[in-house]
Structure 1
Amino acid sequence: MLCRLGLALAAILLLAAPALAQEPVEITADQFTVDESSREAVFNGNVVVVHPTVTVWAPKVVAVYGEGGTTDIESFIASGGVRLKTADQDATGDQAVFTPGDQLLRLTGNVRVTQPSGTVDAGELVVNLETNVSTFTSGSSGRVTGVFTSQ
């Protein structure tokens, strides 16, 4: 259930790079900058990434790429207050980071994942896309809490 959110986020972050897109992705922002010296592609200001299965909102989205250029993505970082919405889940946090090399997605800071069956609040959510395991941790924000309704 909650793992699908991680998979959806990872998919949208991977698809954010036009060279990797397999389905149409629309990205809008107030500004877009590519800095070859730091190997960063930066979307700034009211960033909205729309994919057929998920929409991401963030003030800033940065794609860091390696020597291979924009097809050699090392990480995607959405920051400044991030929201991810799929058909049945809504997640928020301060920052989302996806690293393709280790297949880890981290949503950190005031994490809240809501779906029809309940809500989980945590300091951090780590989704390992290789093992399909999602782990919520409390971080410095206290304890992981969940409220669930039976179906």
Structure 2
Amino acid sequence: MIKRLFLAVALAILAHPALAQQEVQITADLFTVDENTRESVFTGNVVVIHPNVKVWAEKVVAVYGEDGPSDVESFVASGSVRLETDEQNATGDQAVFTPGDQLLRLTGNVQVINASGTIDAGELVVNLATNVSTFTSSGSGGRVTGVFTSQ
């Protein structure tokens, strides 16, 4: 069985204001802040380094509320997204985290790999409030597949 999806928890930590005191390093080719739309946009070879997870993407957009950047409403990474923890790697086309409903969605050619095996799917939805992870097919006749190794 695939171990608990620590990457989801780690990504949630990136966007959770109560844990914002931890150091997060973000590098990109371009960084834009739009006060009118309350968006912080990192584009081009984006790397987010957090003590629990490393994220690579072509673009990361954080939309924040009235309380400023610590009040994250959504966190979207897109363009060949890769999430890496000490325990596992996950890839997909887009990762969206919304703190309001505590859901992390990794979509498009999803693959999660760890020491226990590999799962391929069209979408992974992790409910951080209930610790339930759901893999679904791409919807175009594809299926969720898993290869597990015994330890």
Equivalent pair of 1:3/1:133 in contact (CA under 8 Å): no
Name the structure with the higher helix share.
Answer: 1
* 1:130 counterpart = 2:132: no
Q: Where does structure 1 lack aligned partners over 5 or more consecutive residues? A: none
Q: Distance in 2 between matches of 1:145 and 1:22?
A: 38
Q: Distance in 2 between matches of 1:111 and 1:125?
A: 7
Shift of 1:71: 2.2
Q: Where does structure 2 lack aligned partners over 5 or more consecutive residues? A: none
What TM-score results when the alignment is normalised by the length of structure 1? 0.92
Shift of 1:55: 0.5
Q: Distance in 1 between matches of 2:15 and 2:137?
A: 25
Equivalent pair of 1:26/1:51 in contact (CA under 8 Å): yes
Equivalent positions of 1:43-122 (< 5 A) are 43-122=42-121
Equivalent pair of 1:127/1:135 in contact (CA under 8 Å): yes
The count of residues paired between Structure 1 and Structure 2 equals 148
Aligned twin of 2:146: 146
Partner SS for 2:139: helix
Partner SS for 1:98: strand
Aligned twin of 2:27: 28
Provide the alpha-carbon RMSD of the alignment. Answer: 1.6
What TM-score results when the alignment is normalised by the length of structure 2? 0.92
> Percent identity between the aligned chains?
72
Partner SS for 1:7: helix
Equivalent pair of 2:73/2:100 in contact (CA under 8 Å): yes
Q: Distance in 2 between matches of 1:109 and 1:133?
A: 19
Deviations 1:8-57 (A, max 9, x none): 22223447xxx952221111001110001111000111000111121100
> One-letter code of the match for 1:95?
Q
